[in-house]
Chains A and B, each alone.
Chain A
Amino acid sequence: DAGVIQSPRHEVTEMGQEVTLRCKPISGHNSLFWYRQTMMRGLELLIYFNNNVPIDDSGMPEDRFSAKMPNASFSTLKIQPSEPRDSAVYFCASSHRKTGANVLTFGAGSRLTVL
């Protein structure tokens, strides 16, 4: 199994540009999470999908952030327009109903730098 695949691994962009982060969860996993990690705030849950449906997006910082899961094998997190304070590592994670939603397999992360 290839694990959770995220792309790009690194992204450097200028303020105001659109950023799209991509995630392929583990096949068969029914839950998908987007997390953000910063030194100041640690790990923050942005959004949680179950069976491709957004269940909890209360962690999405503001309207500039949006996430989609068009099918069981793909999700995107979009930031438009990006700002320097969005600089962080963004993790995608997935889990299987049998082990429980909270036993997460994380991707390697996408490190975003907004100049």
Chain B
Amino acid sequence: AQKVTQAQTEISVVEKEDVTLDCVYETRDTTYYLFWYKQPPSGELVFLIRRNSFDEQNEISGRYSWNFQKSTSSFNFTITASQVVDSAVYFCALAFGVDSNYQLIWGAGTKLIIKP
């Protein structure tokens, strides 16, 4: 079965703290993609990153970093020195296969609250 689990429903931290959002996935496919999308209070989902299953290199973009570990089927997202503007719901998603990889399997989302 293809599945994405975001066990953390809601996380609340004080500004400038580091925070990690967990994502665990299940798939039998050897070719797949993992994603993070952000949904701020305005409602519009924003693409953050896509990784393919053959690239386990971690990625850093400013205060954002992603840790992809196939051994634990996880694709975790860390925000360093969090800011109030990071407050949003964050979704992890999975796409698999070749012809069907337009179909995203979405996690339930983690609501991140950054307090000033």
Identify the A interface with B (CB < 8 A). 31, 33, 42-43, 45, 48, 50, 55-56, 89, 91, 93, 95, 100-109
Contacts and interface: CB of A to CB of B under 8 A. Distances in A.
Contacts, number: 48
**6 closest Cβ contacts across the A-B interface?**
A101-B102, A106-B45, A43-B106, A102-B95, A108-B44, A109-B43
Nearest to B35: A102
Contact of A91 (B42, B45, B103, B109): B45
Interface residues of B, number: 19
B101 A102 contact: yes
Contacts of A102: 33, 35, 50, 95, 101-102, 104
Interface in B14-73: 33, 35, 37, 42-47, 50
B75 to A, nearest CB: 15
Residue from B45, B50, B104, B109 whose CB has the most chain A CB atoms within 10 Å = B45
A104 B47 contact: yes
Interface string B80-106: 000000000001000100000111101
